[in-house]
Amino acid sequence: MTPPAPSLVALRTDPPRFSIDEAVGLARALFGVEGDARLLYGERDQNFHIRPASGDGIVLKIVSAAEGAAAIDYQTETLTHLLRTDPGVPVPRVVPTRDATPYGWTNDAAGTAYLVRAVGYQPGQPLEGAAAGHTLLRDIGRMLARLDRALGGLAAPPHAAPLVWDPRSAVSLRHFTNLIPSAERRRMVERIIDRFADLLPSYSGLRHQTIHNDGHAGNLLIDGSARAVAGILDFGDMIHGPLAFELAVPAAEIDGDGLGPLDSAAELLTGYSAILPLDAGEIAAFYQAILVRHALNITIQAWRTAHDPTGAAKLDGTVAHAVAALDTLLSLDEAKSLALLADAGQPIQERRRRRLGPGLELSYQRPVHFGRGEGAVLYDLEGRGYIDCYNNVPSVGHGNKIVADAIGRQMAEICSNTRYLHHTVLDYADRLTRTLPDGLETCLFVNSGSEANDAAWRIVKAVTGHTGMLVMSNAYHGITDAVATLSPYYGARIEPIAPHVKALEAPDLYRGRIRGDDPAAAVSYAAAADVAIAELIQSGHGVGGFLFDTGFVSNGILDVPAGYVAAVVEKVRAAGGLIIADEVQAGFGRTGDTLWGFQRYGIIPDLVTLGKPMANGHPVGAVVTRPALLDRFTDRVEFFSTFGGNPVSAAAALATLDIIERDGLRAHALVTGEFFRNGIKKLAQYHPAIGDVRGSGLLIGVDVVTDRHSRGPDPATARLLVNRLRDRHVLIGIDGPHGNVLKIRPPLPITQDQVGRALDALRSALESLQT
């Protein structure tokens, strides 16, 4: 049976014709808003922007006489509901009349009554006419998903007749396809509609709800960056139907910048799925609804050409676009198109598992998806801020414009390699070595902490001729085969710890063999090095050296006994070994008291390895050593890293070091870290789960225990705390051999206020343990 024909009369684009002066008078009389008026586009309503001397003003809407008051009441209810349910969705707010009613009335000269209403003017640029990049398309998808999530509970709109722009209306509009002048286009449109008519009954099983159904470029505003949606307008075409239809309008009508229609649809779907994933059936319906939207545009254009020439002229561009898009979409293999959309529509966790493998760990029980960051705050896709107390890599703050500009400028100029002369890497090496003790003056640039340790290890072997190495128990130094062997950290290696590697007992004053401030601790723990050295000599490996993380992070961020490091260093040197200070975690001012972690122990290493925070997230690593040591290595091998020391990396590292020094971030880390630790110690007075608070500057470890007497590590509670903090929008991590030490190492510019809020969240998370 053919569904009832929608009333095409509603398509006539003859909005009311009030004058500018009348609009000014209506705004004043009905809404008490005094300002000049500017006519805005309206398909059915006549819209004016009323601009007062200050503020954004209102949009005065003189509603088409064809529209019923029930539909307007429904829009008012919807906008109010949206604002209450998700205030982050940028929709206009309803402006009541001076009598506190949702709308008023006026008459034209002929005595016809018109409903007059007002909404807040949404600032922003119209998307119409602009090409949408990937980021914007995804944001449109996300915003429409948030809108749909909020619309979920609403009743169906009270349409008197089926709405023309409801994709399902295409079936009855099939009557009008004979108005399409080109026989070829007509057949294309009919095929699409007939196929859709066949499929429609199967869509009854899909999720249905109220949807906006009108997210085309004319109804979307974008912000100044052209990367985010700033406004969603026009709630006059809402329908109750398959959720899957929502994205069909933007997918059909918004041009992706340099993207074909299918790729644009995929981007929109990726954004949408991050909030509201669609299943395979819904994705297939989405695809059909895109085709149908184009078919509707072509058919309605044909009807308008016959019945409403003014409206038809406005649709010309849309139709040319619809024809081109259909030509492209229909030339593609449909199964492949659906597969591409299904990939894009997969929840991001699924895609990640498939493309990056299931082994890649994801933080938090409820993983977070961030869109941007600023300073010590990360913002999720819905714009909610999280205080980042975990990421040490963006050492001078997320989204740092100075570093970004340095990278951009250099990249636009030249990015080559160290086999050509270039000053940037030398400028950086000058500055870097100036911060290190005399003698440590030659740099070997690589691309990660792992590579730095790998190169340092090669230098040690080449210089000493020994192959034995001392490391700390549970140490982590990176992912290369050789360095993984130097990493007893659980999970870092496939093989058991190798015979050439000796792991030293951690000098853990909280849970170790000797505790507290026992003066014998340093000597006693360091004695483990004697045993290790003797074994390495005996096995013929000899002592190449000692590699240690100067923050003792994977040991649980230990405060090691005074004199311990110096004692081990002395023993290793006496056996002919070299000292590698791994500053990947603690370097660049994190510990506050000194720029480099090793300086806290009164030693001067032979090699220093750098990574993570070095260039605020740009991948850079380095080994700094004495010239004679490097010479003895490079005499024998040619060491060249294609990307290592390239001008862009050097510019990024230079800008980062500049900011650390210029903004006094080391001193800031010292003070802010102390404030943070003291705050946690205060919480410990009431919360026995906190057994110990350690670290220096903005490298903080909190040892979570089952009870303070036994000091038993409590990894389960630590995990609970990390997840509950995440729910309270504070990010931290876990480390230590038992997985029970809260790891806190925020970007250095974190403010005292942000630390205060993180402490509040920690208090609340700790209190939640007791319920």
Q: DSSP states of 311-327 as a string?
A: HHHHHHHHHHHHHHHHH
d(CA 192, CA 196): 6
Query: Would you give the DSSP letter of residue 382?
Result: T
Of the pair 264, 550, the CB lying nearest ligand PMP is at 550
Could you say whether residue 598 binds ligand PMP (CB under 6 A)? no
Q: Which is nearer to ligand PMP, 316 or 481 (CB)?
A: 481
Helix, strand, or coil here: 446?
Answer: strand
Q: Are 417 and 642 in contact (CB under 8 A)?
A: yes
Spatial contact of 615 and 649, defined as CB atoms under 8 Å apart: yes
Residue with Cβ nearer ligand PMP (553 or 758)? 553
Shortest separation between residue 554's beta carbon and ligand PMP, angstroms? 7
Q: Using the rule CB under 6 A, which residue among 453, 467, 649, 656 binds ligand PMP?
A: 453
Could you tell me which stretch among 16-24, 153-161, 206-214, 477-485 binds ligand PMP (CB under 6 A)?
477-485
**Which residues from 527-566 bind ligand PMP, rule CB under 6 A?**
549, 553
- Binding to ligand PMP by residue 450, rule CB under 6 A? yes
* Distances in whole angstroms, Cα of residue 398 to Cα of each of 9, 183, 401, 738: 54, 57, 9, 30
101-115 as b/e, with b when 16 or more CB fall inside 10 Å? ebbbebeeeeeeebb
Two tokens at 549?
């993380």
* Minimum distance of ligand PMP from residue 509's CB (angstroms): 20
- How big, in percent rounded to 5, are the helix, strand and coil portions of the chain? 45, 15, 40
Nearest approach in angstroms of CB 549 to ligand PMP is: 4
- Told to check if 57 binds ligand PMP by CB under 6 A, we report no
Rounded to the nearest 5°, which phi and psi values hold at 197?
-60, -40
Is residue 220 within 8 Å of 140, Cβ to Cβ?
Answer: yes
By CB under 6 A, tell whether 652 contacts ligand PMP.
Answer: no
Stretch that binds ligand PMP, among 324-332, 352-360, 577-585, 651-659 (CB under 6 A): 577-585
Quick one: angle between helices 647-662 and 423-434, nearest 10?
Answer: 30
Binding segment toward ligand PMP, per CB under 6 A, in 505-513, 578-586, 698-706, 754-762: 578-586
Measured from the CB atom, the residue of 139 and 583 that comes closer to ligand PMP is 583
Q: What are phi and psi of 695, to 5 degrees?
A: 105, -175
Q: Smallest gap, in angstroms, from Cβ of residue 521 to ligand PMP?
A: 23
Q: Where are the beta strands (DSSP E) in 20-77?
A: 36-40, 46-51, 58-62
Nearest residue (CB) to ligand PMP, 552 versus 676: 552
Using the contact rule CB under 6 A, the part of the chain among 48-56, 579-587, 642-650, 715-723 near ligand PMP is: 579-587
State the residue number with the nearest CB to ligand PMP.
449
Provide the mask over 394-433, with x wherever binding to ligand PMP is found by CB under 6 A and - wherever it is not: ----------------------------------------
Stretches 24-32, 177-185, 269-277, 447-455: which one binds ligand PMP (CB under 6 A)?
447-455
- According to the binding rule CB under 6 A, does residue 448 interact with ligand PMP? yes
- Candidate list 585, 649, 672, 754; residue touching ligand PMP; CB under 6 A: 585
Residue of 656, 199, 212, 671 whose CA lies nearest to 392: 656
Contact region with ligand PMP (CB under 6 A), list: 240-248, 345-353, 476-484, 695-703: 476-484
Stretch that binds ligand PMP, among 142-150, 471-479, 539-547, 674-682 (CB under 6 A): 471-479
Range 603-642, binding ligand PMP (CB under 6 A): 611-612
Q: Which of 582, 692, 714, 735 binds ligand PMP (CB under 6 A)?
A: 582
**What does the alpha-carbon distance between residue 387 and residue 377 come to, in Å, rounded to a whole number?**
5
Q: What are the distances in angstroms from CA 756 to CA 84, 666, 759?
A: 29, 19, 5
Asked if residues 403 and 615 have their Cβ atoms less than 8 Å apart, the reply is: yes
392 vs 524 by CB, closer to ligand PMP: 392
Provide the 10 A C-beta neighbour count for residue 8: 19
State which residue, 477 or 677, has the beta carbon closest to ligand PMP.
Answer: 477
* Residues engaged in binding ligand PMP (CB under 6 A): 448-450, 453, 476-479, 549, 553, 582, 584-585, 611-612
